C-alpha cells in the first residue's frame, strides 16, 4: 500500500475503537478493472454506492498465490492513478459458477445497463482474457468468488 492510500486508511481507522481495529482481518488498496476508463468508472460507482458487489475467478488466487477475499477485509478503493476514493468492507463472500450468477448480483455490480446479459458479455470477455494470460481454460462453469461490500469511509 502506498503512502497516500495508507494515510487515507489511517484517517478511517482513527474513527474506530481499538477493539474494532483489532477485528480487521486484512487491508489492501487497489482499483477495479484492467484499464483506466473502467477503473475510474468503477471507483465512482463504488464511492456513490451504486456498485456494492464484485467478482473474481476462484482459480486466480491459487495461480497467483494471492489471499482469497474474506469478510471484514478493508480495501482502499482507488482510481487508476492511485488516488483513494473510499474505503470498503467486505460483508459477504460466496462462490458460484459463471453461468449461475444471478441477475440480482449483476445489478449489484452496478455496471453497464445492470442487466444479466450485459454482465455476462462483459465478464466473459474479461475472464477469457484473464484466462488466456494465465494459460488456463475459461468455461461457463468457471468458479467465481462473489463479494459483497459496503462503503465505510467516508460515510
Q: What is the pLDDT of residues 54-86, one digit of tens each?
A: 999 999 888 878 889 999 999 999 999 999 999
Beta-carbon contacts of residue 136 (< 8 Å; ≥ 6 apart): 59, 63
* Per-residue model confidence (pLDDT) at position 34: 82
* Per-residue model confidence (pLDDT) at position 66: 86
* Per-residue model confidence (pLDDT) at position 109: 97
* Per-residue model confidence (pLDDT) at position 85: 98
Nearest to 88 by CA among 46, 56, 44: 46
Whose grid coordinates read 473510499?
86
Query: Residue 49 pLDDT more than 90?
Result: yes
Beta-carbon contacts of residue 126 (< 8 Å; ≥ 6 apart): 33, 34
Query: Residue 147 pLDDT more than 90?
Result: yes
**In what order do the strands lie in the sheet containing 27-30?**
27-30, 74-78, 84-97, 143-153, 53-57
pTM of the model: 0.92
* Per-residue model confidence (pLDDT) at position 79: 96
Mean pLDDT of 33-58: 95
Summarised one tens digit per residue, pLDDT across range 119-142 is 999 999 999 999 999 898 999 999
* Per-residue model confidence (pLDDT) at position 33: 87
Q: Which helix (H) or strand (E) covers residue 38, if one does? A: helix 36-47
Instruction: Measure CA of the first residue to CA of the last residue in the chain; give whole Å.
Output: 22
Cβ atoms 78, 86 nearer than 8 A = no
* Per-residue model confidence (pLDDT) at position 144: 97
Beta-carbon contacts of residue 127 (< 8 Å; ≥ 6 apart): 57, 98, 138, 142
Round to whole Å and give the CA distance between 81 and 89: 21
* Per-residue model confidence (pLDDT) at position 64: 79
CATH assignment of the domain containing 35: 3.10.400.10
* Per-residue model confidence (pLDDT) at position 18: 97
Nearest to 138 by CA among 104, 94, 107, 97: 97
> In total, how many domains does the chain have?
1
Domain around 22: 3-153
Amino acid at each position: 500500500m502506498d503512502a497516500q492510500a495508507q494515510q487515507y486508511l489511517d484517517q478511517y481507522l482513527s474513527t474506530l475503537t481499538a477493539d474494532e481495529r483489532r477485528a480487521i482481518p486484512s487491508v489492501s488498496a487497489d482499483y477495479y478493472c484492467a484499464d483506466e476508463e473502467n477503473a475510474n468508472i468503477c471507483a465512482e460507482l463504488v464511492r456513490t454506492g451504486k456498485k456494492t458487489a464484485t467478482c473474481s475467478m476462484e482459480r486466480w488466487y491459487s495461480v497467483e498465490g494471492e489471499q482469497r477475499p474474506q469478510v471484514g477485509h478493508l480495501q482502499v478503493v482507488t482510481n487508476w492513478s492511485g488516488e483513494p476514493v473510499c474505503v470498503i468492507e467486505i460483508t459477504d463472500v460466496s462462490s458460484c459458477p459463471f453461468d449461475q450468477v444471478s441477475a440480482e448480483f449483476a445489478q449489484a455490480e452496478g455496471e453497464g445497463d445492470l442487466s444479466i446479459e450485459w454482465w455476462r458479455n462483459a465478464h466473459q470477455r474479461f475472464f477469457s482474457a484473464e484466462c488466456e494470460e494465465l494459460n488456463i481454460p475459461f468455461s461457463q462453469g468457471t468458479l467465481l468468488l462473489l463479494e459483497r461490500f459496503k462503503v465505510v469511509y467516508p460515510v
